[in-house]
């Protein structure tokens, strides 16, 4: 720079140092002796005597340490913000994955709690707290009368059964069952088997009502039929009018009883059908990918919390 006639403004003050010569290195002069000779040089040399307190490796080390401390302190708020944000993200994902089952003693309780949540979720769908239950009532109000007029009455039972199966799958996807594939399969199979069994029972009861109506006609019917014909009315129309008032209500009541029976049976039969001691561990076997992901997240979270604690405990000199 001197030969080229250029000058540069320094961002920080300059510091003169005396390096060990090759001869000192060959003589194995240690750093303590080298620093002592450096201090003597700056304090005895006329050109540097007035700057001796700002010269040497010791002063340079203090300056660099001070500068490094200032830079670190200026970066700490951003580092803390990044660490806190990452910790929140890791905790959220770990919460979504769920806690691992640590001991056999808690496995039965865990399964019962998951089954309870499944039943509660399924019930909320039927009661209108969640979407889906309105479809069942639509079967009673619209599809049942239409099915009776154009064909078999059990069509309403089949329609209700289809809706309930959809609600079972929806309830399973909205509960911790998704964390345990084996348990999810068992609960799903038990629920569907219960629905199938109760559908057959409800269909049988519904058809019995139809058979009873077909085999027995009241005296009032015979008395009213000629009057309707004399008035120009249709006997067939009279039958459907009577069905719309009484018969449809009885059919609808049967199907509604089926829905209520589904809820009660799911609450009690599903835990009984899937929970027994020999299979607890198998039911709570998680997806290996989920277990591996949880372990990795837990390790990262531990590291970030350790870093957070280190930063919080550091006392910076003013």
Average pLDDT per 10 consecutive residues for the chain, totaling 318 residues: 72 82 80 85 85 85 88 85 91 78 56 70 66 58 51 64 78 72 78 78 66 52 46 49 61 62 48 43 60 83 87 63
| pLDDT tens digits for range 83-125 | 999 999 988 888 877 766 554 455 556 666 767 776 677 677 6
| pLDDT tens digits for range 235-271 | 445 545 555 556 666 666 666 665 555 445 544 544 4
**Number of C-beta neighbours around residue 207 at 10 A:** 15
- As a CATH number, domain 102-285 is 1.20.120.1240
pTM across the whole model: 0.36
**Number of C-beta neighbours around residue 232 at 10 A:** 6
CA dihedral defined by 284, 285, 287, 291, rounded to 10 degrees? 90
Closest CA to 168 of 132, 135, 201: 132
Residues 6 or more apart whose CB falls under 8 angstroms from that of 89 comprise none
Determine the Cα–Cα distance for residues 277 and 254; give it in Å rounded to an integer.
Answer: 38
- DSSP alpha helices (H): ranges in 5-152? 22-26, 31-44, 57-97, 107-127, 133-138, 144-150
């Amino acid at each position: 720079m001197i030969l080229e006639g250029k000058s540069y403004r320094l961002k920080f003050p300059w510091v003169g140092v005396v390096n060990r010569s090759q001869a000192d290195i060959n003589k194995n002069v240690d750093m303590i002796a080298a620093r002592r000779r450096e201090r003597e040089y700056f304090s005895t040399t006329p050109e540097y005597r007035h700057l001796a307190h700002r010269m040497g490796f010791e002063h340079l080390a203090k300056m660099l340490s001070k500068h490094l401390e200032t830079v670190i302190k200026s970066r700490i708020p951003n580092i803390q913000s990044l660490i806190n944000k990452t910790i929140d993200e890791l905790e959220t994902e770990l919460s979504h994955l769920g806690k691992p089952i640590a001991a056999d003693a808690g496995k039965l309780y865990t399964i019962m709690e998951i089954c309870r949540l499944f039943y509660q979720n399924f019930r909320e769908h039927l009661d209108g707290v969640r979407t889906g239950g309105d479809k069942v009532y639509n079967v009673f109000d619209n599809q049942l009368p239409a099915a009776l007029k154009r064909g078999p009455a059990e069509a309403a039972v089949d329609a209700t059964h289809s809706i309930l199966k959809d609600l079972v799958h929806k309830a399973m996807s909205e509960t911790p069952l998704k964390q345990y594939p084996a348990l999810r399969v068992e609960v799903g199979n038990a629920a569907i088997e219960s629905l199938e069994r109760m559908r057959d029972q409800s269909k049988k009861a519904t058809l019995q009502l139809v058979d009873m109506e077909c085999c027995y006609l009241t005296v009032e019917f015979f008395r009213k039929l000629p009057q309707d014909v004399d008035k120009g009315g249709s006997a067939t129309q009279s039958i459907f009018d009577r069905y719309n008032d009484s018969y449809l209500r009885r059919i609808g009541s049967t199907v509604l009883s089926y829905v209520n029976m589904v809820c009660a049976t799911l609450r009690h039969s599903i835990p009984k059908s899937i929970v027994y001691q020999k299979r607890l561990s198998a039911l709570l076997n998680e997806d290996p990918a989920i277990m591996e992901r949880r372990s990795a997240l837990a390790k990262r979270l531990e590291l970030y919390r350790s870093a957070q604690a280190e930063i919080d405990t550091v006392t910076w000199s003013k």
